[in-house]
Structure 1
């Protein structure tokens, strides 16, 4: 069975991401959970924030002591950029999805762009309605707009995104 990686902040958006996870699994796909949040996840992910930070050569305890959100986000982004292609090469997932507000979009897009062409990658973000060249560049990364931030009141955008990535993954390399 094919697998969709779900990367996200499972410290602040766990309800929303668990909803997406359940939807993906109801479509007969596996999920692979990667925590990109600053704080501890509310449930056990497949890849923890500590592992993401380590992939950038950092230490989560040191970052926590500094209490610098911008630095932590920068390290998480670099860790994702290093880690995501390796996880894909190991066969951990066939496609990846990330839901973000305006601040987190830049955290994951470098990692998505580091994946080979033809790997399904879907970014759901409010900045999708703006100039996205800084996020996409010359890549096949798909950005989908959401009118409001991904939250409990916006499960419609989540459903559309999940159905989109599911079909992309199901038909990838077929």
Structure 2
């Protein structure tokens, strides 16, 4: 089946702009499929999937939406409907890429539809809000946002240039994928989590796993990084997880900027794939520049990682709670799981003579885990800090042993 660029948007208010993008994309030899999410006025161009279909998929008829004339309800229903319609098209194998444009409403509708599309399928959103906080729109998916500079309200010399560039981009991505000749070697994939302060550990683990024939995808534990990894775990991309850097739990507990939400540390266990978990960077909570740190933390210990990142040391009480939180989430695992605790430190900053060195804090974290961890889950203690090569070898060998067991192989854990 021929893959198409799916264009999503309001054809009553943005019809001329969508017609322009459609014509540019098709002039490059790429087919399109247009979905209308407008509500009030007649569409400027004829869609392939009409607004009434989208509205019904969202839970109301287009006549009901038109009668209500409530913008909030219309955006909510058409957002839900667009997401459902695109999901069906993905299942049918039609979607080669997704394109959207608009202001806050058009961005909301387009982004919701794109977040339901698998990672790897091109997604491009031309938006008036793309120069601000894009996290609510992008989430953990590979959505590309392009700032429109001017409002998307008619075609002029500048807007047509920007839209033409966007059309070239989305068509080029689809064409490039269809023409790709190179066949990459299919290797089983393993996910790993990393922070700057756990890089030595994760790098060595990655190298060990790659030597054994695995493709290792490393996720930056910045909230969206953890969510993206777990999204891919649920989608079945990985055969195992090296969840070395669980720092996002600290941001969730204390209120930092890198929380991955309440479902962090659950996907691998529920998916039934082997995992080795550690306590990387649980010594810190992340904030932006110093002036953004909430006033209630003024008396805490800080480390200025760079001009835009301020790290705050977790307290004894917080570490005890983090240990409990980690253990309780791991307890739900249905998969082979090992938890490795490096007693010498959990990051480059948390070891002897470093800024966050804290034996009491580490002991509280240890106690919280031990008191609440399910007894049948293997808990391995080691005296070294997390970035010591011995810890990396321990994690790598434990994970390989779990994967080999799953394949019916023999353990090869080195002492």
Structure 2 counterpart of 1:156: 161
Task: Please state which structure has a larger fraction of its residues in helix.
Answer: 1
- Following superposition, the deviation at residue 42 of structure 1 comes to 2.4
Secondary structure at the aligned position of 2:130 is classed as: helix
Q: Which moved more, 1:129-138 or 1:86-95?
A: 86-95
Greater displacement, 155-164 / 144-153: 144-153
Q: CA deviation at 1:57?
A: 2.1
* Long gaps (5+) in structure 1: none
Partner Cα separation in structure 1 for residue 3 and residue 141 of structure 2: 23
How does the TM-score come out when normalised to structure 2?
Answer: 0.41
Is the 8 Å Cα contact of residues 12 and 44 (structure 2) preserved in structure 1?
Answer: yes
Q: Deviations over 1:63-96 (max 9, x none)?
A: 1111111101110000011111111221233101
Matched, 1:36 2:37: yes
Distance in 2 between the 1:13 and 1:77 partners? 16
Give a deviation string over 1:5-31, Cα, whole Å, max 9, x none.
Answer: 111111112211111111011000111
- 2:104 match: secondary structure: coil
Number of residue pairs aligned between Structure 1 and Structure 2: 174
Q: Which residue of 1 aligns with 2:131?
A: 129
Shift of 1:102: 2.9
The 8 Å contact of residues 81 and 111 in structure 1, kept in 2 or not, is answered as: yes
Q: Do residues 166 (structure 1) and 171 (structure 2) align? A: yes
Partner Cα distance (1:17, 1:34) in 2: 10
Maintained 8 Å contact 1:118/1:172: no
For the residue of structure 2 that corresponds to 1:29, the secondary structure is coil
Of structures 1 and 2, the larger Rg is shown by: 2
Distance in 1 (alpha carbons) for counterparts of 2:95 and 2:108: 21
Give the Cα–Cα distance (whole angstroms) in 2 for the partners of residues 94 and 43 of structure 1: 22
Runs of 4+ in 1 over 3 A off after TM superposition: none
- What is the match of residue 25 of structure 1? 26
8 Å Cα contact 2:5/2:171 also seen in 1: yes
TM value normalised by structure 1? 0.94
Picking from 112, 115, 120, the partner of 2:114 is 112
